[in-house]
A and B are shown apart, each in its own frame.
Chain A
């Protein structure tokens, strides 16, 4: 029989005043909500003694115990369903998908049961499903996906996908406090990027769901994007400014559902040009939805048709040259922005 070892003592959280990564920021958010509200608890595979595949919940078991840090069998439909049941009884479960790709195993539970619960008269389901998503790490087709659009079409769900440590912490706290089911995507390529480190406020704060953020101010082109692509677009914007004198505004959606339409419209009214960039595949991607809303509500302000840069319509490939070709790159954003500017 396998023996389980006692875990060594762990540092509780990052020291105050020390810059944190996106992963550490989410970890702090989870920790603080667990401390603040005894109804918050965690469920997932290997989240206890091991601390999660990406070490997000390292130390949580020691601090909060096995009733609040529940290691589950490999049963995505089982533990998301159980989370819904617990939420009905007044708990606030946070489920980890070891990789977000495996959320598809729980698709039925999330879309048919959880998302419709309030509408059917069974009450809201205050629960969060979170996990690492996104490509760029040579993870192959089942450890790299961006499945947000598979759920975007389901009324009753909220979808969050942060790009900075500050937002990630504020959004995970808001998601846990929200009275509806929230899918919280964490781009694994951003988890430990040292460039993203930020010093976070000492005091408790949240970032409200459903509100976009201006990542960079500009006058000539609006780029609407989220998650890892925020940083690729920012890199492109620097180059466009230097080489073309173009002033690019970047809107980071932060929450995809509900979509902050007003923020996009306001920016488009200022710049008159819209580029939407996402790492998810193109057909049925969020760019189509955003462009249509702009057609409906800001058509008169446009100087050019809205354009999009997205991943190719293929599964995520494994080999480096294939994955690099598949994913939108800085160069794609630059080309698209130049095309728009010339229009």
Chain B
């Protein structure tokens, strides 16, 4: 039986096409489903170490990265994610199977079992892995953008930072350096209102993070982080400014962390009603779906079909990752230097020989 289709379709804003709108949907749904999968694997003790969720803020990751030139030949834009930017990673070109392998510490993960989370790098596809000390990637990404400028390349850097991590010296030094040099860099402050257990008001005395932009002499814009189209539009403006040689933009995405800091954090310091309020009235995916359907840009059936494809893809990804081997122990000694492994401890030689290491 034919379903009633809308006779009028609203014009799509920001120069986006219908295909792009559906692709953004696929990416945000993929992000949430992949994290849910990872949570199941975590509970089965198949994830090694900790697990962070970005529940409720997946929209801004996807929509911001969507504004970049995404290529896989080393000529596109570059981004550096944070723990809660799985969406950005998938958008720029990271694949679910490699994310699962990474969390399972497998030998054929991008970091070969040496690193965790989404601390992974592929310069060809345009992502550079962060490290745990917060803020460190701001100056690094300034250097990435500096190179784009030095070489006259039409490329832009995008770097994410939590509201808490804006307190670090590295953040300040990196933004200031990029600002002074007018580098093509977009700095995104994800204001999810919590840094672990610490609310934003204990992170800055400024009313909003965006108030800092004039202090650095850079452009600043605050956006509803759970409105994917608004995030896309602001990110696109910032990227265009960077490409036009107008320097750094500080973007502040207003969003909310609906899970604890990591899997072990029961979030006892948060009022459950507050979480529930965001879940029921301000979920980025719900809002995006409503926008798509209400404007006649997509049908519920299309979205359901995309969801089914994703579920299949993720089942395959997990099955493949489970098959992958763990690294050989001796691999601990490789990649310390570029010219061969470091010495094995002498007690691991047979017979043990203290002259060997």
Contacts and interface: CB of A to CB of B under 8 A. Distances in A.
Interface of A: 1-5, 7, 45-46, 49-50, 53, 71, 73-78, 98-99, 101-102, 104-105, 137-143, 282, 305, 307, 309-315, 317-326, 328, 331-333, 335-336, 339
Contacts of B347: 309, 331-333, 335-336
Given A104-B133, A322-B114, A2 B200 contact: yes
Secondary structure call for the B interface:
loop
A142 B131 contact: yes
A327 B328 CA distance: 15
Contacts of A335: 347, 352
A324 B48 contact: no
Nearest to A143: B132
A45 B196 contact: yes
Secondary structure call for the A interface:
loop
Given A46-B196, A50-B197, A313-B343, A71 B331 contact: no
B344 A73 contact: no
Interface of B: 48-49, 105-107, 111, 113-117, 119, 131-135, 164-165, 167-170, 193-204, 268-271, 274, 326-333, 336, 342-348, 352, 354, 357
Nearest to A323: B332
Given A73-B164, A141-B132, A318-B111, 15 more contacts: A46-B198, A49-B197, A74-B165, A74-B168, A105-B168, A138-B105, A142-B132, A282-B345, A314-B336, A318-B113, A325-B333, A332-B345, A336-B347, A336-B354, A339-B352
Contact of A139 (B49, B113, B346, B352): B49
Contacts of A307: 354
B332 A1 contact: no
Given A105-B169, A313-B343, A321 B326 contact: yes
Given A331-B347, A332-B347, A319 B113 contact: yes
Nearest to B271: A3
Contacts of A321: 113, 326-329, 331-332
Q: Which 4 A-B pairs have CB atoms at the shortest separation, nearest pair first? A: A319-B113, A50-B197, A142-B132, A73-B167
A332 B165 contact: no
Contacts of B170: 105
